[in-house]
Amino acid sequence: MHLYYSNCEQDAPNLLVLNVQPNEGFSLCVNGKKSNQNNEMQKVKLPYTMPIKDKMNTVDAYENLIYDALIGEQTNFTHWEELKHSWKFVDDIENVWKQEQPQFPNYVSGSYGPKESEKLLSEDGLNWWNNL
């Protein structure tokens, strides 16, 4: 039940958007009531981006891995047996691909992916939220 939407209004989805490098952060997009007497709703974006000064003091992920290797901490490393067994899956896939070339939908680098992904979502009345 939408308390503040009339039948003609379209509500926006509540979204949590995670941003990765180079602009680490997140934004929360929610529906908020406008400060008027008409009970109108508006989309509100609450962004957070990590400040540059904090990035300067952050330990690089590779620094942590090198340190773990030096002290013998193996938690973030794959054991040889696990690695060997995982290649069984890759080898099976590669053997099938040698016999039958898969039809992958290609897309331009930097785009939001193949057009087929939009078609797939639209069949269920959904769509990607690219412009936030």
| Rounded Cα–Cα distance for residues 66 and 73 (Å) | 10
Helices of type H across 25-79: 52-56, 61-71
- For 99-125, write each residue's pLDDT tens digit: 998 888 888 888 878 888 888 889 998
- For 75-104, write each residue's pLDDT tens digit: 989 989 999 999 999 999 999 999 998 888
- For 36-85, write each residue's pLDDT tens digit: 777 777 888 999 988 777 666 677 778 888 999 999 999 989 989 999 99
Task: Using alpha carbons, select from 43, 51, 50, 49 the residue that is nearest to residue 15.
Answer: 43
